[in-house]
Amino acid sequence: MDEQLHILTGSYALNALEGDERASFEQHALASEQTREEVRGLSAAAAMLAYGVEPVRPPQRVKDNVMAAIRNTRQVPAEAVVTDGAAGAAQRGHDGGVRPGAGADLRLGTGEGSGPEHGSAAGAGAGTDELGARRGRRSAGSGGSGRARPGGSRPGAVRALAAAAGVLLLAGAGLTGWALGQSTENNRLEQELAQAEQTQGAMLGILTSEDAKVATARMADGAVVSVAYAPSLNQGAVTAHGLPELPAGKTYELWLQHDDVMVPAGLMSGASAGSPMMALLEGQLSGATAVGITVEPAGGSPAPTTEPIMVQEL
Amino acid sequence: MRLPWLRPAEPSPPTHEDLVRRVALGDEAAFEELYDAVSPQVFGLIRRVVRDPAQSEEVTQEVFVEVWQQAARFDADRGRAVSWILVIAHRRAVDRIRAAQASADRDLRQGIKEFQESYDDVQDIVEAKIEGERVLKALESLTQAQQEAIRLAYYGGYTQQEVANLLKVPVGTVKTRIRDGMIRLRDKLGVA
């Protein structure tokens, strides 16, 4: 275990790490059950610190603004989440048709009976289907009609959220540092931010899930690539340190091997030159036998055009 | 067996968790009730971290809009609604001050001063607030150095590097203080 990184559990739980530090920590945590366990506990404790502040009633205008804003704000559809058994609670008493808490395998290891002490951060990562709405874009001009939009979202993403939700209270709070002033953000930045937060939120879910399997490979050039897979979430991710910088017009592409077919599983890039890369595996993980990485033309290819630089069996 | 003419007891008022469930289904009245119930705790936390009143109001709005959007993802099996909302609030508060920091470095001296003030506030926690009391007690069981580092990081929203600068100690020391303190806090609070 890397002591230098393990020791960051406390700071991580308090939201006190900066971007690169946090990325390194997360990669380490992926490979260390002991670290993940500690993160779970310390995050639960950190959430309690919020109660150490005296309540202050906000001015009435805040409420007025909020009430006005929600009328134009689309909600994450309850149906989609419930279908996944991720937030059965939301469904209780609705029609009784869905068993609540089906996502219980994602449970925090916070010990029995600790009940009310741990919160959850369901809002942690954004759903793929909600990227744009993520930062509270309140006047999306969508006419406010899409509320409670039914179904049709991607189970994987939703489940990742469920994971982030229960597993790590601070899933949400861990996503700082990508901070940008909301009011001045342009759309592109907003999208990137949402994407980054989503990836991180899902990443947290994976690395704190009880059944995550992690395989780490060191490549000839010294790069370290980890593949993490959490069967209970049907979610996986790849992180890489030290992969060579690619020339303009090239990108790293991820693949899932199903039988003899390589199915595209998303692109992978770093926040800046030399920084660690991290990407969620897109597509159907169950049944996949291996994960591969190739170098492809920018934008990615529908099928690999080069030899993989790495193949990791699942 | 219940006789048909016996009415069930007066229904108890909805819990915060009930309210969030209704919010997830688009119930604006439930949202308003939830807002009234939890906004003081949320605003209190945000003001502590963000400090600037106008920005604190903005962040509070962001938080509640997020609660509205994400309500379907709250899972009552895993914790209380207030905790869930407060976690969102802390994240957004920290986001906000780090963003501000990018344009104008926060004055660390000022930070120390405000930290001391915030320390005084913590002492004033309303007695009736059981959680507040427990947290305060648990915090007090830490060493002074641990408390200081954790308070600066959580209530001040400082990174561990900034905490080190503020306290004029190596960042390695801060990491250790925070971790040891948080472990003790976790054990005291019995959350894990």
pLDDT of residue B77: 64
pLDDT class of A1 with cuts at 50, 70, 90: low
pLDDT reading at A155 higher than 50: no
Sheet containing A235-241: which strands, arranged edge to edge?
Answer: A213-218, A224-230, A235-241, A277-280
Which tokens in the block code for residue A22? 């946090």
pLDDT reading at A94 higher than 70: no
Identity of the amino acid at A113: G
Identity of the amino acid at A174: G
Give one word for A151, left, alpha or beta, with left for phi > 0 and alpha for psi -120 to 50: left
Q: Domain count of chain B? A: 2
ipTM over 0.85: no
One domain, residues B116 and B134: yes
pLDDT class of A220 with cuts at 50, 70, 90: confident
B1 in a domain, yes or no? Answer: no
One domain, residues B93 and B111: no
Structural domains present in chain A: 3-208 (no CATH), 213-313 (2.60.40)
Q: Which residues of A touch B76 (CB under 8 A)?
A: 89
One domain, residues B77 and B115: no
pLDDT of residue A208: 59
Is residue A279 within 8 A of residue A270, CB to CB? The reply is no
Percentage of chain A lying above the pLDDT 70 cut: 55
d(CA B148, nearest CA chain A) in Å? 13
Identify the closest residue of chain A to B61 by CA–CA distance: A66
* Nearest CB neighbour to B65, from listed A56, A138, A170: A138
B53 in a domain, yes or no? Answer: yes
* Residue B131 belongs to domain with CATH number: 1.10.10.10
SS (H, E, C) A248-270: CCEEEEEEEEECCEEEEEEEECE
Which tokens in the block code for residue A164? 């982030």
Judge whether A96 is closer than 8 Å to chain B, CB to CB: no
Find, among B19, B33, B25, the residue nearest to A94 by Cα: B25
Radius of gyration of chain B from its Cα atoms, rounded to whole angstroms: 20
Crossing angle between the packed helical segments B144-154 and B108-123, to the nearest 10 degrees: 110
Which tokens in the block code for residue A6? 């393990």
Which tokens in the block code for residue A216? 């780490």
Tally of CA atoms within 13 A in the half-sphere of A69 that contains its CB: 23
* Residue B45 belongs to domain with CATH number: 1.10.1740.10
Query: Residue A145, class by beta-carbon neighbours within 10 Å (0-12 exposed, 13-18 middle, 19+ buried)?
Result: exposed
What DSSP designation does A114 have? -
pLDDT of residue A115: 34
Q: Which residues of A touch B95 (CB under 8 A)?
A: 176-179
In the listed set B77, B105, B133, which residue is the last one of a domain according to the structure?
B105
Residue A59 neighbours by CB under 8 Å, 6+ apart: B57
B5 in a domain, yes or no? Answer: no
Determine, for residues B179 and A42 on separate chains, whether the beta-carbon distance falls below 8 Å.
yes
Crossing angle between the packed helical segments B144-154 and B160-167, to the nearest 10 degrees: 130
Beta bridge partners of A251: A296
Among A residues 105-124, those touching chain B with beta carbons less than 8 Å apart:
107-111, 114-123
Per-residue model confidence as pLDDT tens digits over A59-83: 999 999 999 999 988 887 765 443 3
Is residue A90 within 8 A of residue B70, CB to CB? The reply is no
* Structural domain boundaries enclosing B161: 106-192
Identify the closest residue of chain B to A123 by CA–CA distance: B70
One domain, residues B189 and B110: yes
Q: Which residues of A touch B61 (CB under 8 A)?
A: 62, 65-66, 69, 136
B171 in a domain, yes or no? Answer: yes
pLDDT class of B111 with cuts at 50, 70, 90: low
What is the CB neighbour count within 10 angstroms for residue B114? Answer: 17
Query: Across the A/B interface, how many CB contacts are shorter than 8 Å?
Result: 343
In the listed set B60, B77, B105, which residue is the last one of a domain according to the structure?
B105
CA distance A57 to B38: 9
Beta bridge partners of A310: A293
One domain, residues B33 and B116: no
Determine, for residues B150 and A49 on separate chains, whether the beta-carbon distance falls below 8 Å.
yes
B50 in a domain, yes or no? Answer: yes
B142 in a domain, yes or no? Answer: yes
For B80, the 3-state DSSP assignment is coil
One domain, residues B45 and B115: no
pLDDT of residue B145: 94
Determine, for residues B77 and A101 on separate chains, whether the beta-carbon distance falls below 8 Å.
yes
More confident call, B2 vs B161: B161
One domain, residues B99 and B23: yes
